[in-house]
Amino acid sequence: MGRFWSILFFLVPILAIATLVMANFGIAPLETARLPRSFSMAGDTIDQLFNGIHLLSALILSGTVLSLGWALWKFDHRRNDNPKARYFTHNTRLEIVWTIIPAFILVFLAFFQMKSWSENKMDRPTLTVNGQSVPVPPIVMVKAKRFGWEFHYAGDDGIVDTQDDIYIENQLVLPVGEDIVLQLESRDVIHSFYVPELRLKQDIVPGMTQFAWFHSREAGDIEIMCTELCGWGHYIMKADLKLVDRSTYDLWLAEQKSPYTPEFKSNPEVAAAENARYTESDARLERSAQAGNDLAENSIE
């Protein structure tokens, strides 16, 4: 049995390194197992960190499993004249070594990721107004709810969460090549705002206002998803994210603004149609919430 188990143990590091190499160099069938192409500068640094930690873990796993496999191979009792095991309680030198090496690795990682962490999570981008540097105001307030995304664009006042906000569901359009700040809030439970291509992920906690930011260097259509299990419809909680150049964005936003103009609102036909649309979507939401509650109650019983 000794040979069988040692070969099985040897297979683990071999497969671990093979999958890592295949995913990183895009070799079939694991060509899609790697992270999607990064749209943001910050994403490149995050990828370096991710790949570095991944490689380090693969090496440590390989080292551990290889030494186990080697011990199984070498000390196979049927191939040893004296198969009696030696008993010892501890080895101080070994314990010092395997405490100090991981401690060094962890301290190294802590310092290595510090800059990226503070840029992406602590220091909100700033802009200069009248010679003073102020945080970039949020362009959109994102309201996560079971099971969809509301986007409230700042209206003419340039401030989100005010009367003239422009309201859109499940479709976010944003300009590329500039610092974008999002204000994130939840209507109900904990959700998480995740855009893999931007390497952007932020939990959204009810009762808290959080900010997330990114700077995309590329235009394109990508997807926003909720990555916090939030109920039965978690899997459908997605939205489209369209990254476009500034002029396309301005045009698009102007189009969205029209239903909010006084002329548009005072047109009775338009008002009735809009009202019907919102009542319908409210009713749909209520039905889906009710379905979710029924499901939850049934599963408790």
Binding site for Cu ion (CB under 5 A): 191, 226, 230, 237
Whose Cβ is closer to Cu ion: residue 104's or residue 235's? Answer: 235
The C-alpha atoms of residue 155 and residue 171 are separated, in whole angstroms, by: 17
Whose Cβ is closer to Cu ion: residue 61's or residue 190's? Answer: 190
- State the minimum distance, in angstroms, from the CB of residue 248 to Cu ion: 29
- State the minimum distance, in angstroms, from the CB of residue 161 to Cu ion: 21
Q: Where in the chain does DSSP place strands (E)?
A: 126-129, 132-135, 140-145, 148-153, 166-169, 171-175, 179-186, 191-195, 200-204, 210-215, 220-226, 238-244
The C-alpha atoms of residue 213 and residue 119 are separated, in whole angstroms, by: 9
Whose Cβ is closer to Cu ion: residue 147's or residue 213's? Answer: 147
- State the minimum distance, in angstroms, from the CB of residue 208 to Cu ion: 15
Whose Cβ is closer to Cu ion: residue 191's or residue 199's? Answer: 191
Whose Cβ is closer to Cu ion: residue 166's or residue 226's? Answer: 226
Q: Count of alpha carbons within 13 Å of 69, Cβ hemisphere only?
A: 16
- State the minimum distance, in angstroms, from the CB of residue 223 to Cu ion: 14
The C-alpha atoms of residue 70 and residue 93 are separated, in whole angstroms, by: 21
- State the minimum distance, in angstroms, from the CB of residue 61 to Cu ion: 33
* Residue 182 · residue 213 · CB < 8 Å: yes
